[in-house]
């Protein structure tokens, strides 16, 4: 199963719309479902994503939308915990993110809020933050490039690819129990 992962769009308060290359990525439909990490600001981005694929979306700290704060998605025998991570202070702290994943019983944690794209293994879990799909500034960042991620699960194998400014950048490829290594 292949997920398109994106968030922190902040449309229309910090960005007018999704960049054209992100829209092309959404419309090419080279994935099975979407994981949205929050901060859509309003429903327009969520409705757009839902019009193209099954979308799992959570509410961010600046959202004026009625979405859950947390979701757990099961896929390929794995549990994915999806949340914005506003509660994690300092932002993106791996130890605190690990605790959230443990409480959720997840082996994959997908989060937003930092606006910084990242993918790593820690404590036996996979952590993915797609960054900001629009390049919108965040509370701790300015000038981050536009980015989305793909999370692909196939049995005990997983791949995370980050697409930054329309260019692919494979970050991680692994087998559960076999260790993660940069590609």
Distances (CA, A) of 107 to 18, 73, 157, 165, 176: 30, 11, 13, 29, 10
Q: What is the pTM of this model?
A: 0.91
Report all structural domains of the chain as residue ranges with CATH numbers, in order of start: 2-182 (3.60.21.10)
Q: What is the pLDDT of residues 136-167, one digit of tens each?
A: 877 666 667 789 999 999 887 788 888 887 76
Per residue in 111-142, pLDDT (tens digit) is: 999 999 888 888 989 999 999 999 887 766 66
pLDDT value of residue 140: 62
Residue 6 tokens read as 């994106």
């Amino acid at each position: 199963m292949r997920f398109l992962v994106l968030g922190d769009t902040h449309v229309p308060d910090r960005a007018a719309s999704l960049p054209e290359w992100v829209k092309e990525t959404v419309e090419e439909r080279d994935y099975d479902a979407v994981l949205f990490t929050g901060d859509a600001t309003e429903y327009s981005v969520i409705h757009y994503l839902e019009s193209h694929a099954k979308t799992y979306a959570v509410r961010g700290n600046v959202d004026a939308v009625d979405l859950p704060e947390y979701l757990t998605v099961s896929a390929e025998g794995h549990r994915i915990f999806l949340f914005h991570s506003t509660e994690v202070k300092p932002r993106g702290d791996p130890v605190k993110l690990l605790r959230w994943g443990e409480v959720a019983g997840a082996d994959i944690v997908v989060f937003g809020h930092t606006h910084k794209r990242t993918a790593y293994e820690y404590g036996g879990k996979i952590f993915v933050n797609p960054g900001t799909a629009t390049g919108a500034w965040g509370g701790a960042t300015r000038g981050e490039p536009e980015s989305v991620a793909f999370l692909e699960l196939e049995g005990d194998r997983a791949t995370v690819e980050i697409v930054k400014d329309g260019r692919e950048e494979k970050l991680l490829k692994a087998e559960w129990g076999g260790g993660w290594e940069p590609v």
